Amino acid sequence: MAKENILTRSKKKKVQGLIAQGRYSEAMAMLEIICKGDPQDVEAWLNLGKIYVKRKDLTKGRECFEHVVKLKPKSTEVYINLANVLVRLGLLQEAVSAYQKLLDIKPDDMIAHQYLNDTLVKSGLLDEAIAGYDRMLELSPNNPQIIVAKAKVLDRKGDKKQVYELLKPLIMQYPNDAKIAVAFAAVCNNDGHRDEAAKMLESIVENPQLELQQETAREVHSVLGKLYDGAANYKKAFSHYLQMNMLKGRTIDIDKFTKEIDETIKTFSNEALGKAPKSTIPTNTAIFIIGMPRSGTSLVEQILASHPDITAAGELNDILKLTKEITDYVDSHSLYPQYLNELTIDLCNTISQRYINRLHDISSTSRYITNKMPHNFLVLGLISILFPQAHIIHCKRDPKDTCVSCFFQNFTYGHHYATHLETLGTYYRQYKKLMDHWEKVIDRPIITMQYEELVTDQENQTRRLLELLDLPWDNACLNFYNIDRVIHTASYDQVRQPIYDKSVGRWKNYEKYLQPLLIALAEQNPSSK
């Protein structure tokens, strides 16, 4: 027995060395042997779970952590790992439960409190998140970071008056704190407090003694852009939006992206799609809302979510992840889209069933469940194979308004094509080229929702959409802004208001600054002039 323990300790020491060197495959193989030999080894199972998570095998990571919970139910380390992986899996209710169990063990763990509150917000449980921040304030009274976090949740609830009253004293106390100023200014974009907020943020930007972190500086310029846009000072607004994008410092390789679009079009030809196997799993529950970001996808989703037969799942990235995971199922391990010829009906059924199970976890009673990930337009050919009965709704908007809105949006991650006007215009052209192709080769009708028509004729456009989905009319769809659900995208504030058309033709306010975009849009695309 002693010899066996010595051998195990030696293996564990070697495992630690392999992990330190980033040799995760070798470490995982050794840990699997250790865990098989001793199902009670907490340390080995915990490390194995962590490696699975590093390798993006979240399901196996979850299984390991749940095994450790049974062995060591008072371990705060395993609960934090379990909860985090549950969030990444989209199992938010289970994650909330795990964070709460962690806090039962260690009630003063501020990091766990913050993670719990973040998850409550993602789950749409805003009142519970506000109560959670109140508990944090009991542990750390008058903590400005916690107050700001609470204010942001109140802002998502639409309670701008309470946010203003909550943050106004902090502004007086911390006049040079950029994060407090940004949170405060975000609710001041009205005639009563706009000038006050703009002056405050300008003083922070112009203060040479304040060294703002890049992310914070981007937020400051973003909010200043919105404030000046609201005041119709378009020169200053554009200047701040430009500085915001310059601070991002990243863009995509647009030539590489163009080649990828061409390859997708070539691979998913009319002939290839006609020969491709298709899932036989019933997939009529799924609705995919696609298009360029800022083209009205959130508005369409919110209108549909107001119907009693529809549940909105927000932006699920499951499909874009599946395009990579399918590689593991095909013999050649080809990447997307090269593996099209290797798909089988059984494989299509397996993959589509996983997604349908995911939808059923979100709602087991709704007739339809929407996924409004805009960039699913990139993989519509694969979607038509995996979900042949699904409805596809394509949101379209004037290309200039779409691109300007993307350029002005401080996206928190991704969207690197939107940081330069010329690149953004070229990206839009590639999107349009691909959508034109899908319209020709996909054998299922794609429902088009034109933003300008929707905001000027909401009832008739909504009736048309519901008829195409074979749904009865419901007046709640006209009052979509009253629906009690959380929007996690950049449009969360807009869809809480009655429909408006003030964003139509917005690009004209900035026309003199948009020449790189306008030239890029016009190249080989006269219709966008």
Alpha-helix residue ranges (DSSP H) falling in 89-159: 92-105, 110-122, 126-139, 144-157
Give the span between the Cα atoms of 54 and 49, in whole angstroms.
9
Predicted pLDDT of residue 296: 93
Give the span between the Cα atoms of 125 and 156, in whole angstroms.
11
Sign of CA dihedral 289, 373, 163, 99: positive
Q: For residues 397 and 294, is the Cβ–Cβ distance under 8 A?
A: yes
Element (H, E) at 171: helix 160-173
* 325: phi then psi, degrees, rounded to nearest 5: -70, -30
Cα angle 490, 495, 500; round to 5: 115
Sign of CA dihedral 239, 241, 243, 246: negative
CB-neighbour burial class of residue 423 (10 A; exposed 0-12, middle 13-18, buried 19+): buried
Q: For residues 525 and 429, is the Cβ–Cβ distance under 8 A?
A: yes
* Beta-carbon-side half-sphere exposure of residue 165 (alpha carbons within 13 Å): 5
Predicted pLDDT of residue 498: 58
Token pair 């981007």 is found at 218
Per-residue pLDDT of the chain (529 residues; tens, 9 = 90+): 344 454 466 666 777 777 777 777 888 888 888 888 888 988 889 989 998 888 878 888 999 999 999 999 998 999 999 999 998 887 888 999 999 999 999 999 999 999 999 999 988 889 999 999 999 999 999 899 999 999 989 888 878 888 888 888 998 898 888 888 888 887 776 656 788 889 889 999 888 888 888 888 999 999 999 999 989 999 999 999 999 999 987 789 999 999 999 999 999 999 999 999 999 999 999 999 999 999 999 999 999 999 999 999 888 888 988 888 888 888 888 889 999 999 999 999 999 998 998 898 888 899 999 999 999 999 999 999 999 999 999 999 999 999 999 999 998 777 899 999 999 999 999 999 999 999 999 998 999 999 999 999 999 999 999 999 999 999 999 988 766 545 545 444 554 555 666 788 899 999 999 999 999 999 754 444 3
Predicted pLDDT of residue 495: 46
Predicted pLDDT of residue 491: 46
Tell me how crowded residue 333 is: count the other CB atoms within 10 A of its CB. 11
215-227: buried (b, 16+ CB within 10 Å) or exposed (e) per residue?
Answer: ebbbbbbbbbbbb
CB-neighbour burial class of residue 497 (10 A; exposed 0-12, middle 13-18, buried 19+): exposed
Sheet containing 286-291: give its strands across: 310-312, 368-371, 286-291, 391-396, 446-450
**Domains in the chain with CATH codes:** 172-249 (1.25.40), 254-528 (3.40.50.300)
Predicted pLDDT of residue 5: 56
Q: What type of residue sits at position 391?
A: H
Give the span between the Cα atoms of 326 and 193, in whole angstroms.
52
Cα angle 222, 224, 225; round to 5: 65
Q: For residues 412 and 308, is the Cβ–Cβ distance under 8 A?
A: no
Q: Classify the phi-psi angles of 294: left when phi > 0, otherwise alpha if psi is within -120 to 50, otherwise beta.
A: left
| pTM score, whole prediction | 0.82
Q: CA dist 246 to 209, 357, 421, 518, Å?
A: 21, 42, 11, 19
Token pair 């299922």 is found at 444
Q: For residues 378 and 320, is the Cβ–Cβ distance under 8 A?
A: yes
73 token code pair = 């139910």
527 token code pair = 């219709």
Nearest residue to 523 via CA among 424, 394, 407: 424
* Beta-carbon-side half-sphere exposure of residue 99 (alpha carbons within 13 Å): 25
Q: What is the DSSP letter of 445?
A: P
Q: For residues 299 and 454, is the Cβ–Cβ distance under 8 A?
A: yes
